[in-house]
Amino acid sequence: NAGVTQTPKFQVLKTGQSMTLQCAQDMNHNSMYWYRQDPGMGLRLIYYSASEGTTDKGEVPNGYNVSRLNKREFSLRLESAAPSQTSVYFCASHTGTVNTEAFFGQGTRLTVV
Amino acid sequence: GQQLNQSPQSMFIQEGEDVSMNCTSSSIFNTWLWYKQDPGEGPVLLIALYKAGELTSNGRLTAQFGITRKDSFLNISASIPSDVGIYFCAGQDADKVIFGPGTSLSVIP
């Protein structure tokens, strides 16, 4: 069972470079999320997509863009990476109905130098 | 915006002891979730709570959904070394899942 798959697992970028983090889920879930996790802090919501074709800002959207390519895939793009974006990024999905839980990918560890 | 607070921030306990941690919110949630994260891994769901007042157990873990819908607690009984990790509470509304900052648990053998 694949669940939620994120790529890449590790990435080092130079300041100003761009990259896209990929996320795919095979559970036919409607809602998908991108979080970042920083040392000593919890998971902060960057963007989410309640259903295919919709995206909304979370708590910390600045510096990021997202695309809900189809029901399975939700990508996160850094157009011009900054050292403050060094973090571990987690993608998650859930069915979209109220009484269900979210499932997480393994994370992408991003370092911006 | 919606915010969750967890206490304590970190705990060091002796193996075999019971543990209790809390989560409070400024907003009402319809669903409360407790996750555990091991180093280098994504969070894994431990317990999901769907009704105010609900008390749910999963092995040595017990969690309750507060009656006000603004809080929840998680208890771990008879802790073992593999309980080490960060425990996150999360509140879920129609669209979003919001996480608390986590409680870091260390178990001393």
Over residues A85-101, the mean pLDDT reads 83
Nearest to B99 among A42, A103, A107 (CB): A42
What's the pLDDT band for B1 if we cut at 50, 70, 90?
A: low
Residues sharing a CB contact under 8 Å with residue A97, sequence separation 6 or more, in sequence order:
none
Residues sharing a CB contact under 8 Å with residue B18, sequence separation 6 or more, in sequence order:
B75, B76, B77, B78, B79
For B60-94, what is each residue's pLDDT tens digit? 999 999 999 999 999 999 999 999 999 999 988 76
Return the amino acid letter for B79.
S
pLDDT of A85 reads 97
For B24-56, what is each residue's pLDDT tens digit? 998 898 889 999 999 888 899 899 998 999 999
Q: Kindly list the residues from chain A whose CB atom is less than 8 angstroms away from the CB atom of residue B30.
A: 98-99
- Greater model confidence, A95 or B102: B102
Interface test with B, best of A56, A98, A108, A109 (most B CBs within 10 A): A98
pLDDT of B19 reads 96
Window 44-83 of A: residues touching B by CB (8 A cutoff) are 44-45, 48, 50, 56, 58-59
pLDDT of B88 reads 94
